[in-house]
Structure 1
């Protein structure tokens, strides 16, 4: 049946990178199972179990599955209703010398759980450099626009000025926390190792005739083969599903960050202060040809919402586990874990595309400042009048009256804010008439925003990105997403 005739997750078929889609493919999953069986057999042989070198060599020669292997496994699973045993059978057919020792002493979760932990780690290894790249590009953007004054907003109402670069630092700081959280989640990952059906290692103790030291060494050897620093010392049949929750909570937090950034860009696009990249032949609307919809940022918000909600699945799955394990974790984890990684991958691809081509419109920003700055400048006017000997209360009242008049012109007549002209024409303010223009310089309203931006990028950002610097020096390809 054609791929066009069956449902496929858009995360894999439409959005995700080839490397992330491949990581969670059947080919990678079942090859990893075979690799785990090989590691187990090698360790068991090294510790004295009667496993032939021929068996090891045949296993090594058939780690990659052929289409015939997949067919054999599918037929066996249909008959046995057990995916792990189906693949034990398929592996044994191509490695007959090993057929009797594949999976020796192990439970199904030796394959499935250890493989999942490998995928959790490898997936983060793919994602973390992409997140570092997004942060690096935003940091360059922040430095470029560190001095450009822009309206700040509180309650989505015009507030004291900030700079375009300083606002980008708000996004960067949150992404740095995501980088920290995801790095910690990656580095905290352990291996389930060789633990047996309920985590007691009873089957391996029987294999080694009660030799506890050999059982511990078997666990250590297989963990070392897999490249993990340690194995969880206590497991049930599975590793604790709290591990999944820990990882997906870090993903969920990043999803929320992505939504926040996408929402800010969408608002700025609505006011025409900033836009995401818009390609030459891109169509914004099928009906309204003039539109430049922020579709990338909208997609970021949409997929960020999906990613954030995956944490609930992981927490619910963990809390629903009974004693040494129940199987109600299986189906949902086959969906929620790959989709979280695919979704995170997609978000980083789109964020990279957006921050690589953000378009800033200084003329629009300056116009909006001019519309609002007169009201913000009134405190400066009051202070200067008091310095000239005027009463603060009298000055405040004069400013209040003129401000309300100007506000009425803006709101009721739709005209420009004329407060400055009113002040310049009012004899009460004659002592500062020659200072009004200098008191209206936007640069005097941004405080330490430029200095904060430079210091933040040169300290916090630089330190956080140091482990990734060898990757950031190379040019990142611009993706059309």
Structure 2
């Protein structure tokens, strides 16, 4: 049985996805290592460094199903080394003496770094595509609700009106920046590592650079200009970018949950009959995915922070800090994968209630529109004076639970300077959304153009 949330039969689909688990499970990581050893042997055979027959045999046997994983586990426990038991197991299944040519010139960190980078790149690609799907869903909301008026909120209190399309345009703009950061990351961070004991490639012989470069390209990774055993900035950048993706989507989830509260009820996660919100309150419809996005984003941020510890690696290699990445970097990728997949489901099926948005605009009985009244009065008496006057009227209105229009009319300075007809117009929330619609459409159009330049995952 699993002993962590990422693999738990009970909880794994909260914290991870089947796709991410498949990318990072033991068999997948072992197969990555075997693929590296096979690619290295093939390159060395092409360069007449080892016999062609050895490379063919190593490649033929470098399949995880040919190895005894229990023996590998026992070997790791017995000798305290993370890779040698795998190499011994592979050597044992190779016919003849061909197993002697395995791992020629490489060091353990070469294989583990490159193997993890292969997995991280695959996970990153899945997240990239899911995030583009999330963006598409948010753009649809932006276009559909560009003119749908709702309350803008600051400090969790009603402020002045916006449109729901404006709100989602802010989300979309941030998501687009996340996507652009991911694209930049893909250009420079997914490199392999075959540099030998201290990075000088001494063990690879005279054609060392060619051996390393050809092997790395075989594995679908980019070539680094120099060894990165103790330079962990690429890993730090990857987790930073994914951490930002997680926090973007976690923030959106938290806001959806807030707007799903009974007293607000402007948004809701799509409800599926049979879903249960409480073991004791049958009526509950809880914001399951929105809350989960928030939860997982906090966890991803925490693992992202831990990943930075490896940037303090000493000398040419540092086993202590390097091993932190084995846990933290993979967690960031897996958690972000779950977040992106869940966000796609949430935002592609979001329930929006424009009528409730409109009713909520009247909760303060006109007080939401204090700003335009103040600005209009300020044209006659000065802005600061108008602020003081409208402040006093607003506080009285609030304390008395009165109608703002009536309290304004009672004030002589206001009534002397603003007619009743003008006040009615100033108190119309649908007429005071500023450039909400403009920004919604501008963001949508800009992102649609940018999407044409995206590479496929």
The TM-score normalised by the length of structure 2 is 0.88
2:404 matched to 1:419? yes
Summarize the alignment of residues 329-344 of structure 1 with structure 2, pairs less than 5 Å apart. Answer: 329-344=321-336
State the secondary structure of the residue aligned to 2:419: helix
- C-alpha distance 383-36 of structure 1, shift in aligned 2 (>3 A): closer
Match of 1:220 in 2: 213
Distance 2:390 2:321 in 1: 66
Q: Which moved more, 1:461-470 or 1:449-458?
A: 461-470
Shift of 1:398: 7.3
- C-alpha distance 365-202 of structure 1, shift in aligned 2 (>3 A): same
| Structure 2: gaps (5+ residues) | none
Match of 1:34 in 2: 34
Structure 2 counterpart of 1:278, from 255, 264, 271: 271
State the secondary structure of the residue aligned to 2:68: helix
Distance 1:178 1:307 in 2: 15
State the secondary structure of the residue aligned to 1:39: helix
Match of 2:88 in 1: 89
Q: Verify the 8 A CA contact 1:385 1:432 in the aligned structure 2.
A: no
Per-residue CA shift, 1:56-98, capped at 9, x if unaligned?
A: 2222322322275324433444443323221112112222242
State the secondary structure of the residue aligned to 2:362: helix
- C-alpha distance 378-47 of structure 1, shift in aligned 2 (>3 A): closer
Match of 1:479 in 2: none
Match of 1:466 in 2: 452
Q: Which moved more, 1:419-428 or 1:327-336?
A: 419-428
2:58 matched to 1:59? yes
Per-residue CA shift, 1:377-430, capped at 9, x if unaligned?
A: 35545666798xx767998887666544432222xxxxxx42224556889469
RMSD: 2.8
Q: Verify the 8 A CA contact 2:192 2:222 in the aligned structure 1.
A: no
Aligned residue-pair number: 447
Q: Which moved more, 1:123-132 or 1:61-70?
A: 61-70
2:435 matched to 1:439? no
State the secondary structure of the residue aligned to 1:117: helix
Summarize the alignment of residues 80-159 of structure 1 with structure 2, pairs less than 5 Å apart. Answer: 80-97=79-96, 98-159=98-159
- C-alpha distance 433-29 of structure 1, shift in aligned 2 (>3 A): same
Summarize the alignment of residues 282-293 of structure 1 with structure 2, pairs less than 5 Å apart. Answer: 282-293=275-286
Match of 1:477 in 2: none
Q: Verify the 8 A CA contact 2:174 2:248 in the aligned structure 1.
A: yes
Distance 1:259 1:104 in 2: 46
State the secondary structure of the residue aligned to 2:150: strand
Match of 1:255 in 2: 246
Q: Verify the 8 A CA contact 2:202 2:208 in the aligned structure 1.
A: no
Match of 2:198 in 1: 198
Shift of 1:191: 2.8
Q: Verify the 8 A CA contact 2:33 2:115 in the aligned structure 1.
A: yes
The TM-score normalised by the length of structure 1 is 0.84
Distance 2:287 2:4 in 1: 26
Structure 2 counterpart of 1:7, from 3, 8, 17: 3
